Amino acid sequence: MNREKLKVATERLKNFLRKKKFLIAIDSDGCVFDSMNPKQIVVFHPKIMEFHQLWGIESYLRQVAEFVNLFSRTRGCNRFIALQHIYRFLTEIPEIKQMIMEQGITLPDTTTLDAYIKKYKDISLGNPTLEEYVQERRESSLSKLLTWSKAVNSTVAAKIKNIPPFHYVRETLALASENADLIVVSQTPYEALGREWKEHNLNNYVTVIAGQEMGKKEEHIRIAARGKYKSDEMLMLGDAPGDRRAAEANGALFYPIIPGKETESWKRLVEEALPRFFEKTFANSYQKKLMAEFDQALPSKPPWQGLNYDHRTSYRERQPLRKAMYERFDPQGRLLIMEEEDKIKGRI
């Protein structure tokens, strides 16, 4: 990571000045770019299995990790908090307990992970603070966690490239920037954010790009806003419940980019919601309607807690998505494919 660029970006956030009447904070992964799926499916989840020798429970780990990171109300959470959720859910599934005993698999001990999160969750969860904690505690499990996180970053940079923004994003940013100050707020590392926004010439629309090293999203908004805007003059755009909470923590309005309906969401934003925001008719009934649709798209209960849950059937539901991600971003990568007859067809 270029620490000098990060330092400049951090100072830019701290010294942010209001130039327009409105403020719009924008998430990046899964909101502006269709990058959530490949980053998680092709990089994050395989790296967990690679570092902890968990390939023997691949189908279960993938399903749990996909639920946590992509298809539930924890979507978009910090990577270290996601690990907490993943390991906890894995211990709840009876079939996994049997497989672990049969194959001699050991799930990671989360003691040091839990301690790190407890100490830094109100500051910043990211490689810089983890590096500090590694130096303080000097425990092998923390060093391994840091190595995993760095490997995720480098693999994302190497494999997940040239992902264009969703349709209508550029038109929306152009229109929004006429009346609003735009900032990017994300839990993605700053280096990746800067690269992705510059790669598609979207960085010129925004004043600040704030990544995970600069704090949580709600802190990004708070630092930028600092009493400069009224509640109905601030809007957060995001695809995850954490984005909504960041908006609410600052008294801002929230517009959801619905997972699976991203193009439709951006079209509605540029044609309908953004004009409403500028006219100050966005709040109350209109926003409530959007929130109901958003909540319906992201369940809180995992599929394996359902009465008629069948693991193979459930795993195969996302199989076309996984195959598409690997075919595009890592054709030689390791991926478990299941046939309808409940046999393992092979690995891409």
User: What's the total number of domains in the chain?
Assistant: 2
Question: What residues make up the domain containing 153?
Answer: 36-159
In degrees and rounded to multiples of 5, residue 292 shows phi and psi of -65, -40
Same domain flag for 81 and 91: yes
Same domain flag for 193 and 103: no
Same domain flag for 171 and 28: yes
Burial label, 105 (beta-carbon count in 10 A; 0-12, 13-18, 19+): middle
The SS3 call for residue 209 is: strand
Give me the pLDDT at residue 187, please. 87
Q: How confident is the model at residue 298 (pLDDT cuts 50, 70, 90)?
A: very high
156 token code pair: 């994302």
Give the closest residue to 280 by CA, choosing from 232, 318, 340, 246.
Answer: 232
63 belongs to a structural domain: yes
Q: How confident is the model at residue 340 (pLDDT cuts 50, 70, 90)?
A: low
Same domain flag for 182 and 293: yes
Q: Is the pLDDT of residue 2 over 90?
A: no
End-to-end CA distance of the chain: 32
CATH code (residue 184): 3.40.50.1000
Share of the chain above pLDDT 90, in %: 81
316 belongs to a structural domain: no
Residue with tokens 């109100």: 122
328 belongs to a structural domain: no
Per-residue pLDDT averaged across 71-81, rounded? 94
Cα angle, residue 22 at apex, residues 202 and 283 outer, rounded to 5°: 110
The SS3 call for residue 93 is: coil
Per-residue pLDDT averaged across 137-146, rounded? 95
62 token code pair: 């993938």
Same domain flag for 154 and 173: no
- Contact call for residues 252 and 234 (beta carbons, < 8 A): yes
Same domain flag for 7 and 75: no
Q: Is the pLDDT of residue 343 over 60?
A: no
DSSP code string of 13-42: HHT----SSEEEEE--BTTTBTTHHHIIII
Q: How confident is the model at residue 341 (pLDDT cuts 50, 70, 90)?
A: low
Distance CA(147)–CA(141), nearest Å, equals 10
Q: Is the pLDDT of residue 346 over 60?
A: no
Give me the pLDDT at residue 9, please. 75
265 belongs to a structural domain: yes
Sheet strands side by side (includes 180-185): 208-210, 180-185, 22-26, 234-238, 253-256
Same domain flag for 170 and 26: yes
Tens of pLDDT, residue by residue over 10-30, are 888 888 999 999 999 999 999
Q: What is the dihedral of CA 290, 293, 294, 295, to 10 degrees?
A: 120
Same domain flag for 173 and 241: yes
Tens of pLDDT, residue by residue over 174-211, are 999 999 999 999 988 898 899 999 999 999 999 999 99
Bridge pairing between strands 208-210 and 180-185: parallel
Q: Is the pLDDT of residue 1 over 70?
A: no
285 belongs to a structural domain: yes
Same domain flag for 149 and 182: no
- Contact call for residues 179 and 22 (beta carbons, < 8 A): yes
Per-residue pLDDT averaged across 227-253, rounded? 96
Residue with tokens 């780990």: 61
314 belongs to a structural domain: no
Same domain flag for 238 and 119: no
pTM given for the model: 0.87
Tens of pLDDT, residue by residue over 3-15, are 677 777 788 888 8
336 belongs to a structural domain: no
Q: Is the pLDDT of residue 32 over 90?
A: yes
Mean pLDDT of the chain: 93
Q: Is the pLDDT of residue 348 over 80?
A: no
Same domain flag for 282 and 202: yes
Same domain flag for 277 and 190: yes
Domain boundary among 276, 297, 318: 297
Which residues are within 8 A (CB) of 339 and not within 5 positions of it... i.e. 6 or more apart? 345
Domain boundary among 159, 188, 213: 159
**C-alpha distances in angstroms, 212 versus 26, 120, 130, 254?**
14, 12, 12, 20
Domain boundary among 111, 142, 159: 159
In degrees and rounded to multiples of 5, residue 185 shows phi and psi of -125, 125
Cα dihedral 272, 276, 282, 285 sign: negative
| Strand boundaries in the chain, DSSP class E | 22-26, 180-185, 208-210, 234-238, 253-256, 336-338, 344-347
130 belongs to a structural domain: yes
